[in-house]
Amino acid sequence: MASSMPVWSITRCKSVAVPPAKPTPHEFKNLSDHDSSEFLQMQVPFIHLYHCNPFMGGQNPAQVIRDAVAKALVFYYPFAGRLRKLPDEKLMVECTGEGVLFIEADAEFRIEQLGGAPKPPFPCMKELLYDIPGSTGIFDCPLVLIQVTRLACGGFILATRVNHMICDLTGYMQFMTAMAEIARGALAPSIRPIWQRDQLFNSSDPSCSSHQFDNEADLPIQLGHMEEQIFFFGPSEISALRKHVPPCFHPCSRFDLLTSCLWRCRTVALGVEPDKEVRLICMVNARAKCNPPLPAGYYGNVLAFSMVGTTAGKLCENPLEYTVELVKKAKAQVTAEYMQSAAVVRMGKPGLPSASVYCVSDFTRAELRDFDFGWGKAVFGGPAFGIMDHIMRLGSIYTRFRSSQGEDGVVVPVRLPVRAMKRFSAELKSMTTDPMHRSYIKSAI
């Protein structure tokens, strides 16, 4: 953000545990093999910004949302429990009814001060989603943290942090939609939640092949001073990228083009030697691939970690269509059989940020602005990039965004060492403005 950005001043803050509004079963629920992936052992933060709505009659958004959370937890009572690791390493949710953490705060700040098109990284994110001691673990601690910060303009910021092992993005949206519906007066969610984790996704076939995440050959990034920038891809940038790909390779999606471009630019910027292997991991929402189809209301993880690889030299010396074909291959690998195999559940937790591994996740189809608690749609809704965990350190999350000029596009966060970021920006600018550009690796940084 610009250096003139005002400083947030949190004037009041309190936290409480919000249990379900009614008694819920005390029971143990198994996670699926997909939920149990070490790759998902993290808490994912989101942020949603709302304008003042005079028709709400001065109602307190913190109280409205807190009441909605308690009522929604009657249906989503596993969220009010705690994740346990048993002696045999089996993971379960103990439905204890202890509740989620809820923080109520006030800030001397107006939403207009974020500019016409607010986007992450937001100032003082750690204050907007306060890290209560003991709340950031994976096991034996709250699964959800919610903070509502009222602003001086009458608007508010809703920030959340969710244990990824309890749900994926679709599951998060389902829970938030239930909260919003109840806040507006519904007695129950329009879509009833369904657990069924161990029935639907547990791999038991020992003959299934393993796609174990192997980081032994990774090229760790020499961190030094890291820089994070947010890049916007509107219609003109996407159009320029399409000109790099001959018509015979169409159709290729916006995701294909973006991922191909970013993977190449990142590899060039980090100076990976031409003979070294580089890999792309696509986190794919595989719900549409499941056969039989998943029941409506299933909110567990249905993610595939699809990986493709090549050498840095081939990636950067070949025309862009070479990389587009690799990205398409990564997506095509995700089939119904793939989802039922052991391959997708053996993705171990990656280590340090790596020059040879780039991970991408596409949030652009998620309606993260649409949660209406009575104040209308959010001005912005999406992941709070600035405090993402290891997925952010390895790659990028794509989020839909409308610029201050009214252009619809995608914002992508990139984090690199400062020197690499300069070269990345130059490569990216060239690729999105000059259709004849071809990148070559000439020397390491």
Can you give the pLDDT at residue 291?
84
- CA dist 45 and 66 (Å) reads 18
Question: Which one of the listed residues 67, 198, 372, 389 is annotated catalytic?
Answer: 372
Q: Which 8-state DSSP code applies to residue 192?
A: -
Tokens of 310: 């090549």
Give the pLDDT band (50/70/90) at residue 275: very high
Can you give the pLDDT at residue 338?
81
Question: Which one of the listed residues 34, 164, 211, 244 is annotated catalytic?
Answer: 164
Pairing of strands 10-18, 28-30: unpaired
Give the pLDDT band (50/70/90) at residue 441: very low
pLDDT at 57 over 80: yes
Can you give the pLDDT at residue 52?
95
pLDDT at 433 over 50: yes
Domain boundaries, the chain: 10-200, 226-431
Per residue in 247-274, pLDDT (tens digit) is 877 789 999 999 999 999 999 999 999 9
Could you tell me the CATH superfamily of domain 226-431? Chloramphenicol acetyltransferase-like domain (3.30.559.10)
10-200 matches 226-431 in fold: yes
Can you give the pLDDT at residue 402?
86
Spatial CB neighbours of 281, under 8 Å, sequence gap ≥ 6: 213, 305, 306, 307, 357, 358, 359, 360, 394, 395
Active site (annotated) includes residue 214: no
pLDDT at 207 over 60: no
* Radius of gyration for the alpha carbons in the chain, expressed in angstroms and rounded: 22
**The CATH fold of domain 10-200:** Chloramphenicol Acetyltransferase (3.30.559)
Active site (annotated) includes residue 26: no
pLDDT at 91 over 60: yes
pTM (whole model) above 0.85: yes
Per residue in 399-424, pLDDT (tens digit) is 998 888 889 999 998 989 999 999 99
pLDDT at 436 over 70: no
Per residue in 117-156, pLDDT (tens digit) is 777 777 778 889 988 988 989 999 999 999 999 999 999 9
Q: How far is CA 160 from CA 65, 103, 131, 413, in A?
A: 12, 10, 11, 19
Residues of the chain with pLDDT > 70, as a percent, come to: 85
